[in-house]
Amino acid sequence: MPGGRPPGAPGPAARRRGIPVWAVVSIVAVVAFASAGAGGVVGALFTEDGADAPERSRTLDNEVPSGAPSRAPDTIAGVAQRVSPSVVLIQGAGPEPGGNGSGFVIDDNHVVTNNHVAAAIEQRGIEVVYSDGHVSEATVVGAAPSSDLAVLQLLDPIDVEPLEFGDSDQVTVGDTVIAIGAPLGLEGTVTSGIISSLNRPVTVGEGRDEAYLNALQTDAAINPGNSGGPLVNEQGMVIGVNSAIATMGAAPGEQTGSIGLGFAIPSNKVSRMTDELIATGEAPHAVIGAVLDVHYQERGARIPEEGGSGTRGSILRDGPADRAGLRPGDVIIEFGGASVRDANQLITLIQSKEPGEQVDVVFERDGEPQDTTLTLGSSTE
């Protein structure tokens, strides 16, 4: 791609407006966010009266820890007892101090975690610690930095029940959720809360490791070290992967704690991408083939005029945006039925879709609204 940065990605000097938000292991900035543009999507996801009861995990039958009083499976304590054996601590090998994170078993020898957890310790060697203290070395079999996901393969796994993915499209505001992980290295920590909001645009990381999440927001306490751990529902099914928290501010390099604003990658995206990561080692994300102006201050996401060879201004020649009739100077104001507030939100909405998916787009050209249908491309093309 001309200039080494794919169309649709912000330039290296881009900075976000709003409150500072930090990932929960390494300190990485997250984009400012607001409810504008998400309300219509959120409303459509509320469950109607009389809807079917949520599906319960069919495999959640880990034994209750020895000596612990058993609790009914449909209680928070009961879910935590049965899920916790399948949640692991992820740390670097050797005596060197460093960050740690969390993960969870999805089959006999694979663990899901965040890319920023795995990337931070991969060079040192990765160790996975089960709740009973058993340690296994692990390697990265696939990573998707743009989605902050990674899959590890265990070299010496033990027999625990893999966790099942629930349907994150059926999650609604107010649902009870449980976060399990290793905040500050304190493995097996359980917190609970509710889903506070849906489709929250959040950006994690910088440069080549920048990830755009259309996240579930929760008030369950999530702290440094929870990254990569599961957010489960009352049925013990994974509906999200904990990835980031918001804070009231801290100096660069400093860790801060939960203020009740945590963000998780929705399980439907995680499930699809982990299958691809295991099969091929990569999971491409959707692109529109256009540069977006992250400094544009008005409503919408503007395609700037400048560009390089192989482009029409800032639009990739014969790419998705070009084929849909978009041109430099156009301002995208709706994408897939969601109102677009700015470039960062649009990139998040794009990456919440799948390559090849068709999306209705409304844009303004010379102040006049127009519409088109765009077929999303792939980051590997």
- Which residues belong to the active site? 116, 148, 227
Which residue is it, tokens 């409304």?
362
| Other beta carbons less than 10 A from residue 160's beta carbon | 20
User: 175 vs 12, 18, 70, 149, 218, CA distance in Å?
Assistant: 38, 27, 24, 24, 10
Rg (alpha carbons) of the chain, rounded to whole number: 21
| Contact indicator for 157, 130 with CB cutoff of 8 Å | no
Angle at 208 between CA 342 and CA 143, to 5 degrees: 110
- Written as one letter, the residue type at 189 is T
Buried/exposed 104-136: b ≥16 CB within 10 Å, e otherwise: bbbeebbbbbbbbbbbbbbeeebbbbbbeeeeb
| Other beta carbons less than 10 A from residue 172's beta carbon | 15
**Tokens, residue 67:** 């000596």
Q: What is the rounded end-to-end Cα distance, in angstroms, of the chain?
A: 10
**Tokens, residue 146:** 């743009």
- Put residue 280 in one of left, alpha, beta given phi > 0 → left and psi -120 to 50 → alpha: alpha
Could you tell me which residues are beta bridge partners of residue 127? 91, 137
| Contact indicator for 159, 182 with CB cutoff of 8 Å | no
| Contact indicator for 376, 357 with CB cutoff of 8 Å | yes
